[in-house]
Chain A
Amino acid sequence: MATATDQVVGYGLVAFSLTLFAYYTIWIIILPFIESDHIIHKYFLPREYSVIIPVAAGLLLLLFVGVFIAIITWKNRTLTKKSA
């Protein structure tokens, strides 16, 4: 049995990813087949954003990972210098 916190965080992630997937699927796959004057189009940004947003998010993630690794490596270097 997982703890309550683990379950909240874990199932929270599941819910988030499912919602995201459903929304994105409608946006990318279904919308092109629906008449452009249908009301559903109001709930979605213009089509170019469906690329811009994920690419921006991906770059942000890469940047975060890169900065994290850089900081750790840099800390290590100063540490070994001190102890040397």
Chain B
Amino acid sequence: MYRFDTMTKLLQWLFMLALLGGTWATLTLNLLGLDPLPPPVYQVLWLLPTYLLVTFGCYSLGTVGYRLATFNDCEEAARELHAQIREARDDLAQRGMKF
């Protein structure tokens, strides 16, 4: 028995893509021979893969942008470190350290 969580990430992706692709093809090409959906729905269905791709692209760009905008710039930590470096140098020199 093949377990999803022990597959490689690549296989997981391929598996999910195949599943989505299959569902999409079934609906779009009406492979089950159900009563056809209204024409505008098919117009949307045909473009759904591209739409999802663009949506994912937007989501990625937006997330990265938001995380960049909220990425802490640790000015205070840098100042503190510089002060401690001076303190350390003085203390070590007192204990006989030759730099």
Contact = CB atoms under 8 A, between A and B. Distances in A.
Interface in A33-84: 33, 47, 50-51, 54-55, 58
A54 B39 CA distance: 24
Interface of A: 1-3, 6-7, 9-14, 16-18, 20-21, 24-25, 28-29, 32-33, 47, 50-51, 54-55, 58
* A contact patch SS: helix
A17 B71 contact: no
Interface of B: 39-41, 43-44, 47, 50-51, 53-55, 57-59, 61-62, 64-73, 75
B69 A6 contact: yes
Given A32-B40, A32-B44, A9 B61 contact: no
Contacts of A33: 40
Contacts, number: 87
Contacts of A17: 57-59, 61-62, 65
Contact of B69 (A11, A16, A58): A11
* B contact patch SS: helix
A50 B59 CA distance: 18
Nearest to B61: A17
Q: Which 4 A-B pairs have the closest CB atoms?
A: A10-B69, A13-B65, A10-B68, A32-B40
A1 B58 contact: no
B18 to A, nearest CB: 20
Contacts of B69: 2, 6-7, 9-11, 14
B45 to A, nearest CB: 10
